[in-house]
Amino acid sequence: MTIDRRKLLGLLGLSGAAAGEAAAATVKGLHDGPVRFEHGVASGDPLQDRVILWTRVTAPGAKLPVGVRWDVAIDPDFKTIVRQGHATTDAGRDHTVKIDVTGLKPGTEYYYRFRASRAGEAVGEAVVGRTRTLSAGAVKDVVLAVTSCSLYPNGYFNAYDAIAKLPRVDAVLHLGDYIYEYGAAPGDYGMNSPTAKTRMPDPPHEIVTLDDYRRRHRLYKTDPMLQAAHARAPWIVVWDDHETANDSWVGGAENHQPKTEGDWATRKAAALKAYYEWMPIREAAPGTLPEAAWRGFQFGDVATLLMTETRLTARTHELDYETDLPIVDGKPDVAAFVAKWKDPSRRMMGQDQERWLASQVQASVKAGTAWQVLGNQVVMARVATPNLQKTMGEEKFGALVAQLPDYAKKRVAQSVAMSAYDIPSNLDAWDGYPADRQRVYDIFTAAKARPIVLAGDSHMFWVNELWNDAGDKRVAAEFGATSITSPGYGDLMPGAPIGEAFVQRNKEVRYSHGSAKGFVLLTLEHGKATGDLMMVSTILDPKYETSVLKRFVVTPAADGGVEALKEG
């Protein structure tokens, strides 16, 4: 795909180089056709002295390794180059290129570029991006854009475009569901959207093999809005479930059928290989499993960001109300369900990750870092099922239900029935693993940490206060990022006060919105953290506006934990 160069230059504020575009360079005698960078550039996993740089080469007819030159400069015109080199790639890694550039200065903005290489020399037009290393020592503030859940056929990636246009962003955090595994059949997820006809998944079937996962990543990275966001700033990423298959856990997934789709370990390995090829994430250290993607990032003395992995290394199979909530004499046996639900052997994290988390939190607090930030895939707050009928009133609720399709009517009726019990609305979130959640809270409390939990997955905005099991200490604040395009409860029931119902039902939920699309812009300072819920006006048209839906401010408590969230 050829992308308008001037538009992308404007996004990055560059004057003499392309930014995330599909740059082409004709190199006679090297390949059968021109070398192209159709999938843009990306950077990621920044540290104080290094950062990952990424691109992908399209070289039709190439049978031998393809060479590229890369440069890193402190200026957009590349007059002062500080690092450069040559790399090759081939079909064994799907012609992707990943460079771990070292020897950089802390807290510094850099520009980088890739060009085709012939005999070790750069030729043709460059594809360019902007990145930044992490600060060391005392800093005033840190600005992070927090995202999740981009379903390609369901809408335009306007929120990514909005991130690319931010006047400042130090890093973009993607908390999972960067791609989705579903196909393009009429009943597949997202295919009922008005945009699906022009945003068809490739391949058109559910992805299972290595080639399938590679093709899906290729499709996503042809999107110009996603390319612009990648070219704007370094990304720090982690997968959730759809990078492999829906509701994945250590031994399988809801959307994996071994009889027809083969061995789960084989599918998982294919998905992770494609992920590491196509994402700007540092490769797994020698001797470690690729699933063990937990890692830390230090933003000066303002924030320690700890990225967790809660899908593929230790998560036990989630409970399910249809199978785990027995019906006795026509009534649900809630006590039997609660015994399973609170079983301490049910895990989200394994012991290795838990020990790592404890040591990192303790070290961060001991060093005097202002905030300990958890980059986490799923909502951590206690969220019981709301009673929408009670919130709306019987007449308005009845009118709403009458307009719903049959499958939705059933789900809403189940929701109202379940609201009578103090059990979770989402067993796939931390709420389905309460003993493991309390272990995390114990880590925070023991260290007297000031934690902010970030979450994706739910396709809703959340602002939550997290309390310990005893209910006598506010442990952390939580900001949940809504989706880029994936549908939420509010899309299923337009106009219903879903967020209000969640707030009425749950002590920990301060704010929730069920249909807005966008991202969280988190500004961390000494003494306060501000979460702006950034909303795009539409995902059905590439023309959109961006606004702040809500703003909440968090302040640290004197003895660890946080004070009550304040809207502001």
DSSP string, 385-445: PP-HHHHH-HHHHHHHHHTS-HHHHHHHHHHHHHTTSSSBS-TTSGGG-HHHHHHHHHHHH
**What confidence score (pLDDT) does residue 499 get?**
95
pLDDT tens-place string over residues 91-106: 999 999 999 999 999 9
**What confidence score (pLDDT) does residue 285 get?**
85
**What confidence score (pLDDT) does residue 59 get?**
84
Backbone phi, psi, residue 214, to 5°:
-60, -45
**What confidence score (pLDDT) does residue 344 get?**
96
pLDDT tens-place string over residues 19-66: 333 343 433 334 445 788 999 999 999 999 999 999 999 987 777 789
**What confidence score (pLDDT) does residue 310 get?**
97
**What confidence score (pLDDT) does residue 410 get?**
80
- Helix, strand, coil shares of the chain, percent, nearest 5, are 25, 25, 45
Mean pLDDT score, 84-97: 95
pLDDT at 527 over 80: yes
Q: Are 126 and 77 in contact (CB under 8 A)?
A: no
pLDDT tens-place string over residues 110-154: 999 999 987 777 777 899 999 999 999 999 999 999 999 999 999
Higher pLDDT, 163 or 404: 163
The answer to whether the predicted template modeling score (pTM) of the entire model surpasses 0.85 is yes
**What confidence score (pLDDT) does residue 1 get?**
29
**What confidence score (pLDDT) does residue 15 get?**
31
Own/partner pairs for 281-284, CB < 8 Å, 24+ apart? 281/44, 281/45, 281/52, 281/237, 282/44, 282/45, 282/52, 282/100, 283/98, 283/100
**What confidence score (pLDDT) does residue 2 get?**
28
CA–CA separation, 398 vs 416, rounded Å? 12
Reported as a pLDDT band with limits 50, 70 and 90, residue 180 is very high
Closest to 239 in 3D by CA, of 176, 328, 307, 178: 176
> Where do we find the tokens 């404007």?
10
Looking at the chain, the whole-number percentage of residues with pLDDT higher than 70 is 94
Mean pLDDT score, 294-320: 97
pLDDT tens-place string over residues 328-338: 988 899 999 99
